[in-house]
Structure 1
Amino acid sequence: MRISIAKRSASSAKDASNKAALPSPSSSASSRYPFTVEVSDNATVDDLKAAIASNVKSMYPDRQRLTFGDKKTVLESGDSLSKYGVSNDDTVFIKDLGPQIGWQTVFYIEYLGPIIFHYIVYNFPRIFYGVNFEHSEIQRRVYLLVMAHFVKRELETAFVHRFSHGTMPLMNVFKNSFHYHMLSGLNLAYWVYAPASGQGTALAAKLGNPLLMAIFTGVFLFAELSNLSTHITLRNLRPPGTRVRRIPHGYGFDMVSCPNYLFESLAWVAIAAMTRNLAAVLFLIVSSGQMYMWAIKKHKQYRREFPDYPKSRKAMIPLIV
């Protein structure tokens, strides 16, 4: 069947439900919009994206966002065109999402920044503070826990996560990296490892209560292991090489839709309580706020996608929200 590919405008939305006035077949190889492509009657969205990419070389499939009809329904990869009612001589609208970068690569970049910053600030204090000094027990403990957290995230990226979307806009990597590199990286490291709480200082003595350190370390480790467990549950929901979505069940998921965000926030609560440092509190607030928004969005998506989704579940915080 022949599909017209157009860019949506004010007038095109009005005419979207009508059969397209198709240009001649000779124009189908042109990169000018609209143009037509030929796909089989049982074609999928991926087939259509591949056909578009063969006409416009710069528009590789991950760069395309396809919509159809007055409601601007997004055509999801993996679905058949017939699922959306796309038929011969219809018009599908395309949006250029811009240059893309793989989600896995983005995660590697995001989590590498804090590892580098914490390593440098902790091990080379003269560069940042102008003096060498001995770190306190609380500083050593936080350093090990923070490094363990981000190394864990890198390993999860390599061996656990299966991504529902292959790419994201290239420019977003800079915004996302600022959050991690600056707030949980340089800013957190600079203030937590400062001489003011080094070995022999009054602040180090105040923070170094062995019982409290043991409690907060225990909370942190519990949260990290619980977070890992939820990531494994999510991985097992999606067979390799697919974008299958199912309702998650099991540890954490019977309470909230996004227990991975809940447990990660709890880990940073432990760090903030252990250090009682404003930089740690700032990162806790910003990161938890962002995860809360993601949780609300995902919770609504689950409810919209699955009619039998458990009504008792909250988004991120059990019994509350």
Structure 2
Amino acid sequence: MAAPSTLKITNRSAKKPIKKLPTSIEVTDETTVQDVKNELARQAGGIDPERLGLFDPEKKKILKDRRAFVSELRDVMGGKEILVKDLGLQISWKTVFIIEYLGPILIHLITPLLLRPYIYSSAPPLSTSQYLSMAMIVLHFVKREYETMYVHRFSLSTMPAFNIFKNSAHYWVLSGFNIAYWVYAPNSYTALESPTINYINAIGLVLYVFGEVSNLITHKTLSNLRSPGGTERGIPQGYGFGLVTCPNYLFELIAWTGVTLVSKSFSTVIFDVIAWAQMHAWAIKKEKALRSEFPDKYKKKKYVLLPSPGAVVKYLTG
């Protein structure tokens, strides 16, 4: 084993320095990023280690891989320094996701089944399309809760606690109150439809089932790239990944297209457009990250989220 190395410890934020933070720390070949966080937290007075964000001195990027050996991080060892910042009160990603998705579930159950007589001047029985819209949206977020608990593996264990309000607003407001108020209204398009399931609903249901099942498959593919509790990255391959960078986002949009056809509400279209914009931005970042991290192994994708019809035909025909 090589002799321990001494790394300088620097507060990244001069305005909000961490009190009692040591000026240096010794690391060995077996010292991980999490070990450094634990030791710095102990010496700083026993604060929560997850509050500490560690950054390299060169690119000033946060050290996400908790299991990475510090001695193997070139940007850290080259500068012999680690920048440290207090990230504030933290909350686990799982907790945030559970709360985010619980909102739409409750809103789309309580609004049509209990609150309609109190929200609208009249509340005739729900139509078939309204019931179907409710079931599709609730099941979508129930699936997300399942994935949060049993499928997803997070590179970071926590996020700033304040983010729970920002993240929840997207789902509680846009996919919750926004859609629920208009879709379950007694004068909505879905309320005035024929009680039978029409062909548009049938098409929407097919798209929804295809999108949800495919989305789950891609999420499991992504999860399998990382060991339990690990933060390592890999190149996703298989179902959908040869077509676009993020087929999980593509299938999500397909599922919500199905919801839109059934609900026939402009409120759902608004949610779809905003979701597409956000996922498109994430997909671009993912493509750039894969190209940067695996320059020799990763096959560059022309489409990050929405492929052309020609690309789909080429992909399906091999």
TM-score range, shorter chain: 0.7 to 0.9
What are the within-5 Å matches in structure 2 for residues 104-253 of structure 1?
A: 104-124=94-114, 125-197=116-188, 203-205=192-194, 210-253=198-241
From 28, 36, 55, the equivalent of 1:40 is 28
* Corresponding residue for residue 12 of structure 2: 8
* Corresponding residue for residue 264 of structure 1: 252
Does 307-316 or 119-128 show the bigger shift?
A: 307-316
1:93–1:312 distance in 2 versus 1, CA, 3 Å: closer
The alignment partner of 1:196 has SS state of coil
Name the CA distance, whole Å, in 2 between partners of 1:300 and 1:116: 37
State the Cα deviation string for residues 48-88 of structure 1 (Å, max 9, x = none).
11110111246433222222334324334222222234459
State the Cα deviation string for residues 5-51 of structure 1 (Å, max 9, x = none).
211369xxxxxxxxxxxxxxxxxxx9335623333354222221111
The RMSD of aligned alpha carbons is 2.5
The alignment partner of 2:270 has SS state of helix
1:37–1:155 distance in 2 versus 1, CA, 3 Å: same
The alignment partner of 2:8 has SS state of strand
What is the identity, as a one-letter code, of the residue corresponding to 1:314?
Answer: Y
Cα shift at 1:319: 4.3
1:290–1:88 distance in 2 versus 1, CA, 3 Å: closer
Does 186-195 or 304-313 show the bigger shift?
A: 304-313
What is the identity, as a one-letter code, of the residue corresponding to 2:263?
Answer: T
State the Cα deviation string for residues 126-154 of structure 1 (Å, max 9, x = none).
12114331111111111111111111111
* Corresponding residue for residue 31 of structure 1: 19
Name the CA distance, whole Å, in 2 between partners of 1:80 and 1:305: 18
The alignment partner of 2:38 has SS state of helix
Identity of aligned residues (%): 43
What is the identity, as a one-letter code, of the residue corresponding to 2:97?
Answer: F
Is contact 2:287-2:301 (8 Å) kept? no
Name the CA distance, whole Å, in 2 between partners of 1:278 and 1:191: 9
Is contact 1:7-1:34 (8 Å) kept? no
Is contact 1:198-1:204 (8 Å) kept? yes
State the Cα deviation string for residues 78-108 of structure 1 (Å, max 9, x = none).
2222223445993321111111111111110
1:272–1:165 distance in 2 versus 1, CA, 3 Å: same
Alignment TM-score, normalising by the size of structure 2? 0.86
1:156–1:3 distance in 2 versus 1, CA, 3 Å: same
Bigger CA radius of gyration = 1
What is the identity, as a one-letter code, of the residue corresponding to 2:243?
Answer: M
Please say if 1:95 is aligned against 2:85: yes
The alignment partner of 1:317 has SS state of coil
Is contact 1:136-1:197 (8 Å) kept? no
* Corresponding residue for residue 315 of structure 2: none
